[in-house]
């Protein structure tokens, strides 16, 4: 339960001092970008944005806020989809930006790890790994602006989960400032350490409700040397799942990406994204963007991929395929996939679902979900795309082409309910990688096991008894 209070001007002055030089923004034009989320669904107010540049300053700020019962909303790159980093409308919650904690503290190529402060962008972490001849495999469309602290706080997924796991799997340790200002140092970075509870996992995916992540020890991997990328026309999602299973077997589990792209998504990209070109000679209803890679020089990998695709063509599971012949062609294939959200924005309103079910059940789910959605929103366009290899698709609906935007948007609650009920029947998740934020608090209450909710509330209360950390996100701040 949140018992936060309105910070008075004297307290804001105290925060200004604790945040250090240039550490507090309160001019309306400076604060404005922090008052709205990436999708512009959530708007809020704040007395100030704090931008400390060291862990010690974050700790001093949280200790003061804990004592004064002032609510704190952490923000990373503000690219998340559920309103997690947006303050509420009360104007009493201070925003805490991690952007100035942007140093790489160490790189240890021999032990395959590096330590980055929370405000480093994901791209910065990838580039530092790359310059040490290593791979940090987390990869998202927002990687130029999202931060490693935000990635861990949302337990981000992305396009390499199939091979390397979610953000949670890519971390050896964290440094976290607790809501009362104490610093929890779990940065040792041992691969084996069974000394009691593994506390880092509490903060991963907690969306800033249990503390502030200030540094991350990331796992690195050998850099791929052989990398093959194919844009493949598959008969349907069922054929795609069969192809994925076969490829995993014959490549020695070298599949790093397996993304489903329906024709409608490709058409939107071709319509709206500059220089986008259809990779195949004619149109097909479904495609898969596939990447296989190994860290050794292995010309045989391309042959295995081509042979497997040929067999699938014989079985009529695949109709055609293009293999990237160069780096730029690979980038062009990736752009077709990564610009789908942007292209969809140009098509008017959309109603989005980020769902996961067991991969083998995904074809049936897409079929049933499509029928259901079209019954509720006749004329809508179903754009179900994404991380098929992880059993996670973004099941999005675009409004009917010449339809009324507001009328379509008014259907959203009914469609979300029907889709999420369907997901529950498939033993799936209504939030596979985007989290809860403020958008899905009610969904969590509706679909989560009540025992799990009790445990979450108990953890929240134990770590943050005054409810100052990101109130109203993930769990309701004042239930009942
Ligand atoms: C084009 C595009 C593509 C995307 N693709 C994917 C994808 O493939 N997979 C995926 O999972 N997501 C994807 N996302 C969503 C988003 O990029 C991720 O959720 C990302 O991990 C958020 O990082 P951020 O730094 O922007 O966090 P923010 O949006 O700033 O914050 C997210 C949450 O974490 C909290 N938080 C932030 N930093 C900290 C910290 N240091 N300590 C404690 N709490 C903190 C905030 O309070 C908030 O609740 C995409 C977004 C865009 C715009």
**Is there a contact between 184 and 97 (Cβ–Cβ < 8 Å)?**
no
d(CA 209, CA 165): 23
Ligand 1, atom 52, lies closest to the CA of 142
* Burial annotation 87-103 (CB, 10 A radius, 16+ → b, else e): bbeeebbbbbbbbbbbe
Percent of the chain with pLDDT strictly greater than 90:
96
Angle at CA 12, nearest 5°, toward 11 and 18?
90
| pTM of this structure | 0.95
d(CA 62, CA 183): 10
d(CA 52, CA 40): 26
Q: Residue 86 carries which DSSP code? A: -
Q: Is 209 in the pocket of ligand 1 (CB under 6 A)?
A: no
d(CA 143, CA 197): 31
Please, what sign has the CA dihedral across residues 346, 350, 356, 362?
Answer: negative
Mean pLDDT of 298-312: 97
Find the DSSP H helices in 132-208.
148-153, 161-164, 200-203
Higher pLDDT, 480 or 388: 388
- At 478, the pLDDT band (50, 70, 90 cuts) reads confident
Mean pLDDT of 448-461: 97
Query: What pLDDT is recorded for position 477?
Result: 81
Ligand 1, atom 50, lies closest to the CA of 142
- The separation between CA 134 and the C-alpha centre of its own chain, rounded to angstroms, equals 22
Higher pLDDT, 170 or 3: 170
Query: What pLDDT is recorded for position 479?
Result: 63
Looking at the CA of residue 148, tell me the nearest atom of ligand 1.
25
Which of 42, 75, 161, 206, when mutated, tests ligand 1's pocket best, judged by the most ligand atoms within 8 Å of its CB? 75
Report the separation in Å between the CA atom of 154 and the middle of ligand 1, taken as the mean of its atom positions: 6
Looking at the CA of residue 158, tell me the nearest atom of ligand 1.
8
Report the separation in Å between the CA atom of 445 and the middle of ligand 1, taken as the mean of its atom positions: 22
- pLDDT at residue 203 tops 90: yes
**Is there a contact between 289 and 257 (Cβ–Cβ < 8 Å)?**
yes
Chain segment 54-90, per-residue pLDDT in tens: 999 999 999 999 999 999 999 999 999 999 999 999 9
- The separation between CA 393 and the C-alpha centre of its own chain, rounded to angstroms, equals 13
């Amino acid at each position: 339960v949140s018992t936060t209070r309105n910070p008075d001007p004297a307290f804001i002055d105290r925060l200004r001092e604790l945040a250090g030089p240039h550490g507090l923004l309160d001019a309306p034009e400076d604060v404005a970008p922090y008052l709205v989320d990436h999708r512009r669904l959530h708007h809020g107010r704040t007395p100030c944005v704090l931008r400390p540049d060291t862990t010690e300053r974050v700790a001093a700020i949280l200790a003061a806020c804990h004592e004064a019962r002032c609510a704190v909303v952490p923000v990373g790159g503000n690219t998340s989809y559920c309103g997690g980093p947006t303050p509420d409308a009360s104007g009493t919650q201070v925003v805490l930006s991690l952007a100035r904690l942007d140093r790489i503290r160490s790189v240890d190529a021999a032990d395959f790890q590096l330590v980055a402060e929370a405000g480093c962008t994901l791209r910065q972490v990838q580039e530092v790994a790359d310059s040490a001849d290593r791979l940090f495999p987390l990869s998202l469309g927002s990687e130029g602006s999202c931060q490693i602290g935000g990635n861990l706080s949302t337990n981000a997924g992305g396009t390499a989960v199939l091979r390397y796991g979610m953000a949670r799997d890519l971390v050896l340790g964290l440094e976290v400032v607790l809501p009362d200002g104490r610093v929890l140092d779990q940065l040792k970075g041992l691969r084996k350490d069974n000394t009691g509870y593994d506390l880092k996992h509490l903060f991963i995916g907690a969306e800033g409700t249990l503390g502030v992540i200030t540094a991350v020890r990331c796992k690195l991997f050998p850099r791929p040397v052989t990398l093959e990328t194919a844009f493949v026309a598959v008969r349907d999602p069922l054929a795609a799942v069969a192809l994925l299973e076969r490829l995993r077997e014959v490549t020695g589990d070298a599949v790093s990406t397996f993304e489903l792209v329906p024709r409608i998504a490709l058409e939107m990209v071709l319509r709206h994204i500059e220089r986008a070109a259809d990779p195949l000679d004619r149109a097909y209803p479904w495609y898969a963007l596939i990447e296989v890679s190994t860290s050794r020089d292995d010309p045989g990998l391309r042959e295995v991929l081509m042979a497997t695709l040929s067999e699938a063509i014989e079985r009529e599971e695949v109709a055609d395929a293009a293999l990237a012949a160069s780096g730029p062609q690979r980038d062009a294939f990736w752009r077709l996939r990564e610009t789908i959200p942007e292209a969809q924005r140009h098509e008017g309103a959309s109603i989005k679902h980020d769902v996961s079910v067991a991969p083998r059940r995904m074809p049936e789910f897409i079929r049933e979900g499509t029928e259901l959605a079209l019954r509720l929103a006749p004329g809508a366009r179903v754009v179900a795309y994404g991380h098929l290899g992880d059993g996670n698709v973004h099941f999005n609906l675009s409004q009917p082409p010449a339809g009324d935007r507001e009328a379509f948007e008014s259907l959203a609650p009914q469609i979300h309910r029907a889709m999420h009920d369907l997901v529950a029947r498939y033993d799936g998740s209504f939030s596979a990688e985007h989290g809860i934020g403020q958008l899905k608090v009610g969904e969590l209450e509706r679909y989560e096991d009540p025992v799990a909710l009790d445990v979450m509330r108990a953890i929240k209360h134990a770590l943050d008894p005054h409810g100052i950390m990101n109130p109203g996100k993930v769990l309701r701040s004042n239930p009942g």
